[in-house]
Amino acid sequence: MNHPDPAIVARIAGELRRARRLLFITGAGISADSGLPTYRGIGGLYNDQATEESFSIETALSGSMLEANPAITWKYLGQIESACRGARFNEAHTIIAEWQNQFEVCVLTQNIDGFHRDAGSRNLIEIHGDIHDLLCTQCDYTATVPDYSGLSIPPSCPHCQALVRPRVVLFGEMLPSAAIQHLYAELDQGFDLVFSIGTTSVFPYIAGPVARASQSGIPTVEINPGDTHVSRLVDYKLAAGAVVSLRAIHTAFQQGSP
């Protein structure tokens, strides 16, 4: 396991002492220490392999496939959910939630595992949704389930028998407008320190806040074992995992606080 550079950790802790508002942008890497695989934040199960039906996973998990053949989409949603089942949030999620006691914290996550919510993060933008939240495609029925073990696949609405889907953004679908508006409102207020954790930052709405902060002279931190689309932009780079890095920053911050 890579360990974070103590000198960089100390400098990040110093930035924290000067900060009031923090933005955490998180991807699949923050949940890796919970045992979840990390392929593009949708479960890490497929890499470049085709599905059993010879579709790409992006096609199988697309809005158009859900409409045309919901059984296929739900088959792979079920596999992703079963990979999450039994896992829970880890120390990285907990540290971010605990910092709400000392800072104004906003979390922008691509993850659909619900771990930030479970850990207690309140100002949370789940830009791709949560796999545990279900909604009817026809009526206003909604439900939150702990897992999919009790569902028929594909599930139907108990009220109108129409198709039920999870509240997640499938490939080819628009981002939820409420989440986008929430993000813009937070960015308009500004941040004193921006963290990018466990994401390759391939989407512009994930890389954009880091680039915006960098251009404005706001300190930026990346926690990721590999190089990403924002690595060249950030002030501080920790090439290590989320838990070991945030634990080190948390400890250094506490040791230096009065």
Task: Indicate the length of the chain as a whole number.
Answer: 258
Residue 55, pLDDT score = 85
pLDDT number for residue 1: 63
The answer to whether 128 is a known catalytic residue is yes
- Helix (H), strand (E) at residue 112: none
Predicted pLDDT of residue 45: 47
Which amino acid would we find at residue 136? C
What is 6-36+87-128+174-256's CATH superfamily?
A: TPP-binding domain (3.40.50.1220)
Per DSSP, helices labelled H in 36-192 are 57-60, 63-68, 70-84, 91-98, 115-119, 177-189
pLDDT for res 80? 83
Question: How much is the pTM?
Answer: 0.93
Q: Alpha-carbon distance 6 to 12, whole Å? A: 10
Phi/psi of residue 136, each to 5°? Answer: -80, 145
CATH for 41-85+135-168, options being 3.40.50.2030, 3.40.50.150, 3.30.1600.10, 3.90.79.10? 3.30.1600.10
Domain ranges in the chain are: 6-36+87-128+174-256, 41-85+135-168
Find the catalytic residue in 128, 132, 182, 250: 128
DSSP summary character for residue 11: H
Look at residue 42 in the predicted model and tell me its pLDDT.
45
Average pLDDT across each block of 10 residues of the chain; the chain has 258 residues. List them in order: 89 97 95 75 50 83 95 91 87 98 97 94 96 95 94 94 96 94 96 96 93 96 94 96 97 81
User: Residue 45 burial by CB count (10 A; 0-12/13-18/19+): exposed, middle or buried?
Assistant: middle
Beta bridge partners of 105: 22
The owner of tokens 């045309």 is 68
What is the distance between the alpha carbons of residues 39 and 59, in angstroms, rounded to a whole number? 15
